[in-house]
Amino acid sequence: MTDPKSWLMLVSSVAGENRTARMRIWRALKSSGAGALRDGVYLLPLSDAARAVFDEQVREVTTAGGSAQVLAFATSDGGQQDDFLRLFDRGGDYAGLFERLRAFVSGLAKLDEGEARRGLAALRRDIAALAAIDFFPGAPRQQVERGLADAEAAINARFSADEPHAGEGAVPPRDRARYRGRTWATRERLWVDRVASAWLIRRFIDPKAKFLWLKKPKDCPKSAVGFDFDGAEFTHVGARVTFEVLAAAFGLDRDPAIARIGAIVHYLDVGGIAVPEAAGFAAIMAGARAQQADDGKLLKAMGGVLDALYAGYAASG
């Protein structure tokens, strides 16, 4: 947790005629969430990340021919502390996002699913960006996060009425040999959890899997392995979404790359901890879904995206 009384201060000076460098440095500091005490003097709550931000700007300033120093200190004066904290009050920004959420939900009836999903992804991205520089979170952030969850629920209620409810209990391990060459069934018009789960099944669990896309969960044949609907063999359990349940059941959750994909799927499906790549993945998914009415083709298109994401994560360790 950020210590509200420990601070880092950047004191910098760049020649006034070097406007390009001054603007570049100002933009970088603004995007980091730094508070401006006056021209050339910036403040961040003390942390390793803040130190890295300011050290980078010291290099930028000196490269531009200026001078810069970073100072760490603690406040003991209550009035000064209050002044500092006001620099990091994000309440107004959250209020603007909350109004955008309200307008989005109010206008949902006029949107098709692709537009709705893209709109939600944009809101999720902007909320995550603000949360990343919200060093002292409070009620405004909680209100916006609840609003985001409500918007997601409204979209699912309109376009995915059969979204599963989480069951209780542990996820028992499964023998992969019993699930080879099976028919797997889930709800049609795939979205993030279902498409990622189908990719996981074919890539790591059952390479010869066949898929059925169901209009209604009740259409699932008894011989098929159901996933991501109420009553399915694999669906939400506790805090886990279907992708995470499948990964845990087949011992795949120990793979860091799969765990990172699971974090994206979890965030986009039920919310929680923001993942930087989530908004981009949701935008790609929405675009692919708009292009492909056939779920088999959609899985093939998104399978390539997930293959690339997995390879990237695996390579980065």
Residue-level length of the chain: 317
CB 134 within 8 A of CB 85: no
Structure tokens, 258? 């799969």
Tell me how crowded residue 237 is: count the other CB atoms within 10 A of its CB.
19
State the Rg of the chain over Cα.
24
Residue 7 carries which side chain, given as an amino acid letter?
W
Measured distance CA(214)–CA(237) in Å, rounded: 21
Q: What is the pLDDT along the chain (317 residues), one digit of tens a residue?
A: 455 689 999 999 987 677 888 899 999 999 999 999 998 999 999 999 999 999 999 999 999 999 999 999 998 888 899 999 999 999 999 999 999 999 999 999 899 888 888 888 889 889 989 999 999 999 999 999 889 888 887 887 787 766 677 777 788 999 999 999 999 999 999 999 999 999 999 999 999 999 999 999 999 999 999 999 999 999 999 989 999 999 999 999 999 999 999 999 998 888 777 788 888 898 899 899 889 999 999 999 999 999 999 999 999 87
Structure tokens, 233? 């063999």
What pLDDT, on a 0 to 100 scale, did the predictor assign at position 161?
Answer: 64
Q: In 107-177, which ranges are continuous DSSP H helix?
A: 113-132, 139-159
Contacts of 110 (CB under 8 A, 6+ apart): none
**CA distance readout (Å), 263 to 41, 122, 151, 196, 268:** 37, 18, 20, 11, 9
Pick from 7, 13, 77: nearest CA to 41: 13
How far is C-alpha 66 from the geometric centre of its chain's CA atoms?
Answer: 38
Residues 257, 263, 265, 266: is their CA dihedral positive or negative? positive
Q: Which H or E element spans position 73?
A: strand 67-74
What pLDDT, on a 0 to 100 scale, did the predictor assign at position 188?
Answer: 93
Measured distance CA(203)–CA(185) in Å, rounded: 16
Domains in the chain (CATH in brackets) are 6-86 (3.30.70.930), 91-159 (no CATH), 176-316 (no CATH)
Q: In the chain, which ranges are continuous DSSP H helix?
A: 19-32, 48-63, 78-86, 91-106, 113-132, 139-159, 192-200, 242-249, 256-270, 278-291, 295-316
What pLDDT, on a 0 to 100 scale, did the predictor assign at position 3?
Answer: 58
What pLDDT, on a 0 to 100 scale, did the predictor assign at position 4?
Answer: 65
Structure tokens, 300? 């093939």
What pLDDT, on a 0 to 100 scale, did the predictor assign at position 162?
Answer: 66
